[in-house]
């Protein structure tokens, strides 16, 4: 099964740690990162898509993708 996640967070070290943790858990970067201004909080936000192949597991909409 191929999994897809879109990681988001503030433009600070916590976002980099979130992406680093995903990479160290077998996820791979997919596409370019995004960067946008959040008008409500008046802060910059980051986003990065990641994908992962998992063998021997069937996809179900209820699964928590971060557990893989």
- Residue 32: give the domain boundaries: 1-47
Give the model's pLDDT for residue 20: 98
11 domain residue, yes or no: yes
The pLDDT of residue 3 is above 90: yes
Has residue 54 been placed in a domain?
A: no
In this predicted model, what pLDDT tens digit does every residue of 4-58 receive, in sequence order? 999 999 999 999 999 999 999 999 999 999 999 999 999 999 999 999 999 999 9
Phi and psi, residue 9, nearest 5°:
175, 175
Whether the Cβ atoms of residue 18 and residue 50 lie closer than 8 Å to each other:
no
Asked if 3 and 54 count as a contact pair (C-beta separation under 8 A), the reply is yes
Whole-prediction pTM: 0.88
Contacts of 54 (CB under 8 A, 6+ apart): 1, 2, 3, 68
Q: Give the number of domains in the chain.
A: 1
What lies within 8 Å, CB to CB, of 36 at 6+ separation is: 44, 45, 47
- What is the pLDDT, as a whole number, of residue 10? 96
| DSSP-assigned beta bridge partners for residue 11 | none
pLDDT given for residue 66 in this prediction: 86
Is 20 part of any domain? yes
């Amino acid at each position: 099964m191929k999994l897809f996640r879109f990681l988001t967070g503030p433009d600070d070290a916590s976002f980099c740690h979130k992406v680093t943790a995903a990479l160290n858990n077998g996820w791979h970067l997919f596409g370019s990162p995004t960067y946008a201004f959040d008008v409500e909080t008046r802060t910059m936000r980051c986003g990065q898509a990641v994908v992962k192949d998992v063998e021997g597991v069937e996809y179900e909409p209820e699964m928590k993708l971060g557990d893989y």
